[in-house]
Amino acid sequence: MEKPKKVFNVERGLFDKFGAPGDVSELLTDWGTCRRCELCEGRRSVVLGDGSWTAKVMVVGQWPGMGEDKEGRPFVAREGLNIKRWIHGAVPENDIFWTNVLACRVKEKAGYGAQLRREYMEECRPRLEGTVSIVNPDIIVALGTHAKNAFLSTSASLSVLREVRHKYKGKMVLVCINPAALSRQRQAGADKRTLAALEEMVISDMQFLSDAYQEIKGRDNNEES
Ligand code: SF4
Q: What confidence tens digit (pLDDT) does each residue in 66-93 have?
A: 999 999 999 999 889 999 999 999 999 9
Residue ranges lining ligand 1, Cβ < 6 Å: 31, 34-37, 39-40, 46, 102-104, 120, 123-124, 127
Compute the average pLDDT of residues 106-122.
72
pLDDT band at 111 (very low <50, low <70, confident <90, very high): low
Q: What is the pLDDT of residues 178-202, one digit of tens each?
A: 999 988 898 889 999 999 999 999 9
Cβ atoms of 77 and 67 closer than 8 Å: yes
- Between the CA atoms of 100, 105, 110 and 111, what dihedral angle is there, to the nearest 10 degrees? -10
Predicted local distance difference test score (pLDDT) of residue 53: 83
CA distances 147 to 93, 100, 194, 215, Å, are 20, 8, 23, 23
Q: Which amino acid is at 223?
A: E
Predicted TM-score of the model (pTM): 0.88
Atom of ligand 1 nearest to the CA of 34: 8
CA distance linking residue 8 with residue 15, whole number of Å: 11
Q: What is the pLDDT of residue 171?
A: 96
Q: What is the pLDDT of residue 1?
A: 35
Closest atom of ligand 1 to 37 CA is: 4
CA 58 – CA 195 distance, rounded (Å)? 27
CATH architecture of 11-224: 3-Layer(aba) Sandwich (3.40)
pLDDT at 115: 64
Q: What is the pLDDT of residues 14-41, one digit of tens each?
A: 444 445 555 777 888 889 899 999 999 9
In angstroms, the CA 114 to CA 126 distance is: 20
Domain ranges in the chain are 11-224
The pLDDT, as a whole number, for residue 20 is: 56
Neighbours of 1 (CB within 10 A): 5
pLDDT value for 78:
86
What string of DSSP letters covers 11-37? HHTHHHHTT--TTHHHHHHHHTT--SS
pLDDT confidence band for 8 (50 / 70 / 90): very low
